[in-house]
Structure 1
Amino acid sequence: MTTIYDIAVAAKVSTATVSRVINTPELVSEKTRAKVEEAIEKLHYAPNALARELVTKSTNLIGLLIPDIANSFSPAVVDSFVGEMERNGYNIFVSITDADPEKENKCIDIMLKKRVEGIVLLGTRRMDRLANERIGILARRIPIVAIDYMPGAEGVCCVRCDEILGAFYATEYLIQLGHKRIALLNGNEEYTTYYYKRKGYRQAMEKYGLPVREEYCIATTPYFRGGYEACMQLLSLPEPPTAMFISGDQMAVGAYNAILSSGLKIPDDMSVVGFSGSPLSKAVYPPLSTVSQYARETGSAAAGIMLQKLRGEETKERVVFQPTLVKRASCGPAKQ
């Protein structure tokens, strides 16, 4: 196997000069650089990655932790983030945590052993500040960016959508259509995203003087099955709601199945608003009204902040996107 010494002999320069051509070519004269590059090409030399890391003190490796691969919001975020980082010369080491704190810690340990230069965490976090304590400590050593809100983790930059405002918009829209019996299908409210969506829902209901009926507020798993089961539970009530704000597009599609399989029509018998703005919202019939939270822009913003932190530049601690309510055919006026 060709070594850096072989290149130095062929080019009639020192090994130190060959190293400079490989790692900092701007420090070498054009004439010398040309000789070394010719020798590298002739001898088919490929620098050893580990050796190069030891010289440059850089792995160009970024860790990306995601809770699962089933969430309809995540793919566009990941695609945008990874694309931006790769265009800037970084490779991404992805780990799936299953939203399990113990597994997340193990994944972080592996990433640190791989000498990642920064870590990005995608997804909702527990509201408990102690649950995020390790992330705050780790942020003192390497750049950390959270794509969501992270309570109690100082030094962690957060990129997120204003979910309180988004939930408020969705609920207010249903109220303005004349609905008074409005349900909330939500996830586990011990987690940030669902905590804030419930808050936005309640704010809208209270602003318009409508009661928040606890039997209309159901926490379920944030996927198709959870949406289906929660919706069936609502439809079985003596006085079911006439409209639903659902905290994720996947849950909303599950609710669609429950509504239609019960012989009801959307929006004639039930109006539905989702949250995410994922491609799913346009794939169902009738097309789903939803709150867009700008997935691709979120991934790009997270990459921009990570790159700034890696360069030692000043960064924003918070980037908050303002949500947009996308009105489609899944909502209609309440029946009088």
Structure 2
Amino acid sequence: MATMKDVARLAGVSTSTVSHVVNNTRFVSDEIRERILKAVAELNYSPSALARSLKLNQTRTLGMIVTTSNNPFFAEVVAGVERICYQRGYTLVLCNTEGDPERLRHNLEVLLQKRIDGLLLMCTESHSASAEVFGQRPAIPIVVMDWGPLDSKVDRIQDNSAQGGYLATRHLLEQGHRKIGLITGPLDKLPAQSRLEGYRRALEEAGILFRPEYVVEGDFEFAGGIAGMHQLLALAEPPTAVFAGNDVSAVGVYRALYRAGLQVPQDMSVVGYDDIELARYLTPPLTTIHQPQEDLCRQAVDTLLDRIQGADDAPRLIMLEPALIQRESVRCVR
């Protein structure tokens, strides 16, 4: 394998001049640059990524820690982040936690050993566990993507879930529904809390009494949607519409209604949240709240790169605005 010394010898220049051309760190005349590039091509020389990372103290590698989940939203976000990283000339190293704080610690150790330049965090472990882990580690730039510790002094890219919950509930109200159920996510997580807040605000604005029995705590998973819908159907006065805290829960709702011999939207109107790709292929296609995934991924990566490049302003909170996507899962009952 050719070395920089081999290139310098063939081009008749010093190794430092070759380094300046390869790394584009100083002006070199066109004639000398051409000789060096010709030697590079002839010898098939490739600079050592390790040597360059040690010299520049950067590896052009980002880490991402994410909770393993059945929710396709996570997979779609990871794919989007990897695409943006590739466009920016960075490599992404992905680690899953499976909801285990110990795996969170282990994954962080592994990523630090790989000398990542910065970290994207999108995991649902308890806030105290996450804060404890990151509070004990060397400072590296971190951006939290919607899901993560609330008390971290780091940048956050966050969906306006309260507004999303409001939009979902208001749409059902506008279609004439007054008995509206809600299957939340885990209420120790910010997205679930915020979507419940938006639900309550829409009811209050419409003058509809909040009924605690219409709110069921779920887990943002398929099984939680099934169990939550069964619980609502067992009420003496079941709702006529359900706002599922995410699209995965809404899929569970569809399943529970099918088992009960009920149809969407004839017997029960359903609204989801996230607008995962699967939502448009359900029968009927699911009305849902669209999260701007592309913006989430781009803002997260670019904010992290700003920190890596030395931005030292106060931690940023970037709020992304959701939008209602109307399909065919809501019936007008006015």
Please indicate, yes or no, whether the TM-score normalized by the shorter chain is above 0.5: yes
**Other-structure match for 1:234:** 232
**Other-structure match for 2:332:** 333
Deviations 1:205-264 (A, max 9, x none): 233333333332222232222212221222122222111010110110111111122111
- Return closer, same or farther for 1:228/1:69 CA change in 2, 3 Å cut-off: closer
Deviations 1:106-125 (A, max 9, x none): 11111111111110112456
**Other-structure match for 1:248:** 246
Match status 1:185 vs 2:183: yes
Contact 2:141–2:307, Cα closer than 8 Å, also in 1: yes
**Other-structure match for 1:81:** 81
2:158 aligned residue (150, 157, 160): 160
Matching of residues 188-199 of structure 1 within 5 Å: 188-199=186-197
Q: Secondary structure at the match of 2:72?
A: coil
Q: Which whole-Å CA distance do the structure 1 matches of 2:118 and 2:13 have between them?
A: 37
Q: Secondary structure at the match of 1:73?
A: helix
Deviations 1:249-290 (A, max 9, x none): 011011111112211121121111100111122111111111
The residue type paired with residue 287 of structure 2 is S
**Other-structure match for 2:99:** 99
Deviations 1:150-179 (A, max 9, x none): 41111x111121101110111122223232
Deviations 1:163-210 (A, max 9, x none): 011101111222232322211111211111111111212222233333
Q: Secondary structure at the match of 2:264?
A: coil
- Return closer, same or farther for 1:296/1:69 CA change in 2, 3 Å cut-off: farther
Match status 1:40 vs 2:66: no
The residue type paired with residue 209 of structure 1 is G
Q: Secondary structure at the match of 1:222?
A: coil
**Other-structure match for 2:140:** 142
**Other-structure match for 2:172:** 174
Q: Which whole-Å CA distance do the structure 2 matches of 1:6 and 1:214 have between them?
A: 76
Match status 1:281 vs 2:288: no
Deviations 1:84-108 (A, max 9, x none): 2222211111111113222112111
The residue type paired with residue 220 of structure 1 is G
Q: Which whole-Å CA distance do the structure 1 matches of 2:136 and 2:63 have between them?
A: 17
Q: Which whole-Å CA distance do the structure 1 matches of 2:10 and 2:25 have between them?
A: 18
Aligned sequence identity (%): 33
Contact 1:97–1:107, Cα closer than 8 Å, also in 2: yes
Q: Which moved more, 1:78-87 or 1:312-321?
A: 312-321
Deviations 1:314-334 (A, max 9, x none): 677011112111222211134
Match status 1:2 vs 2:2: yes
**Other-structure match for 1:317:** 316
**Other-structure match for 1:151:** 150
Question: Offset of 1:23 from its aligned partner?
Answer: 1.7
Contact 1:80–1:299, Cα closer than 8 Å, also in 2: yes
Contact 1:136–1:152, Cα closer than 8 Å, also in 2: no
Q: Secondary structure at the match of 1:145?
A: strand
Q: Secondary structure at the match of 1:27?
A: coil
Residue ranges of structure 1 left out of the alignment (5+ in a row) = none
- Return closer, same or farther for 1:131/1:14 CA change in 2, 3 Å cut-off: closer
Deviation >3 Å, runs of 4+:
123-126, 128-131, 133-138, 313-316
Q: Which whole-Å CA distance do the structure 2 matches of 1:162 and 1:107 have between them?
A: 29
Aligned-residue CA RMSD in angstroms?
Answer: 2.2
Q: TM-score, normalised by structure 2?
A: 0.91
- Return closer, same or farther for 1:129/1:204 CA change in 2, 3 Å cut-off: farther
Contact 1:277–1:294, Cα closer than 8 Å, also in 2: no
Q: Which whole-Å CA distance do the structure 2 matches of 1:288 and 1:300 have between them?
A: 26
Q: Secondary structure at the match of 2:236?
A: coil
Q: Which whole-Å CA distance do the structure 1 matches of 2:293 and 2:318 have between them?
A: 13
Q: Which whole-Å CA distance do the structure 1 matches of 2:290 and 2:234 have between them?
A: 30
